[in-house]
Structure 1
């Protein structure tokens, strides 16, 4: 909403006059500070700025619950205030087609970092944010890359971090290797190895991490990863090679000089 306001050329005075809210309240909302805003002011601003209000409403509701607002508070905020307009109840056709094309793979990626509820919420938020900024996505150098950056930012905002690095530990208990083991002792060994691997993976640069998650945890082919990320196939293969070497250097370091083989 702040980006749309800045691009509109309107001033706070203009908005204050049109929506009949104090400039201080509008400034707080657009800067993301102060108390969580009621739907009424968000709706009025969205209408004035020409933003589709249905995805904004869904994001507003989700964030309200995450801010520990009750269902009663949400209902009271929306009572008597329009939520939808006839022209904004469905995303553009090309947005819907794009979602159908990539949603399953987006869910696979998010699953590596989040539990089921958080995963679904993150992916849903991603497509709502994309709906709000769909014109920008289409005008970008690559819509797929634009969308992936939105997904990644949304997933990482919900992902637990340790020492500044995203945690991949929970994914260790859902690998194909673990499910195929019959001996419990083998399972324990595999868990330890997986946790060590995922800890090391979390230290990778962002795109190398994305490639390794999609290739090694999600089992996607390089061509599919290239299409999802919106980067050349050669870049995917290069990122995978560099990531593999980095992980090998951490997990299987060469013997130090003077050490018996």
Structure 2
């Protein structure tokens, strides 16, 4: 029996009005790793009813600098500041620290800088994380294996793949209130996974590449000759290149069905969408692929 994480959620409360100028948008130059923790931090601030003036008295940091921090402008912030902000806004510290640290490395910060930035908060969030919500843990136990298979199709390096999975659940933890209020928690979590994986994947023409998965697929098949192996590789690369051009919904379904070998029912559970939507996406994707290339017999996934 399928366990549903669909929740109607409480009616959203109106966001408290705050005096002063409205917080500006995140700067266009902010990268995906930085956004991973900045987006939920801004959301916590915007729904808290707190003002920049109020927070600047508690952190302490000038109101203008707080505004820049929440827009991703200026120097990458030290952890001491983010930690104080997290305490004021009641943001879980451990997942926030994980995402902050990854973004710091992506921003070119050294490990020495990171350690110095956290030295005054040692032992608070960096050693033993407090547990996430029970529903978060239950969802994670159900979907981790499927998430790992999907991520591996785009991220052949196991360390990068596992980092994407951990980042996904850290982001989900930070925004779990929004996840519970969404129409389906599984769908909310999957959208985070897709964005996280695609941010780490190699791209061509703005689409994530499946080249590594193509090589792995051919490596698993016995070929009678080197010439046969090269022909099979070229055919598989053509197929996976075509799959990478599919819209996100169809791409997800085809990766889970064709590459991971999951049943349509399992795909429905992972994506948090109706079984009919899975089958519709698969039909549309196959029609596109048939019009684009000659589909090889891959053995198929179970119906």
Judge same fold: TM > 0.5, yes or no: yes
Q: Name 1:12's counterpart in structure 2.
A: 52
Q: Is the contact between residue 80 and residue 120 of structure 2 (CA under 8 Å) also seen in structure 1?
A: no
Q: For residue 140 of structure 2, give the secondary structure of its aligned residue in structure 1.
A: helix
1:89 matches 2:130? yes
**Which deviates further from its counterpart, 8-17 or 47-56?**
8-17
Higher alpha-carbon deviation: 5-14 or 78-87? 78-87
Secondary structure in 2 matching 1:79: helix
Task: Give the secondary-structure state (helix, strand or coil) at the position aligned to 2:246.
Answer: coil
Displacement after TM superposition at 1:68 (Å): 2.2
CA distance in 2, matches of 1:106, 1:166: 16
RMSD: 1.8
* CA distance in 2 between partners of 1:228 and 1:106 (Å): 8
| Change in 2 beyond 3 A, CA 1:87/1:16 | farther
Report matched runs for 1:19-38 at 5 Å.
19-38=59-78
Hey, what's the Cα distance between the residues in 2 that align with 1:217 and 1:87?
37
User: How is 1:1-261 mapped onto 2 (pairs within 5 angstroms)?
Assistant: 1-82=41-122, 84=124, 89-114=130-155, 115-175=157-217, 178-182=219-223, 183-252=225-294
Greater shift in the superposed pair: 20-29 or 46-55: 20-29
Q: Which runs of 5+ in 2 are unaligned?
A: 1-40, 296-303
CA deviations over 1:114-156 (Å, ceiling 9, x no partner): 1222211111000001111111111110000000011111111
Kindly state the Cα deviation for residue 252 of structure 1 after the two structures are TM-superposed.
Answer: 3.4
Higher helix share: 1
TM-score (norm 2): 0.79
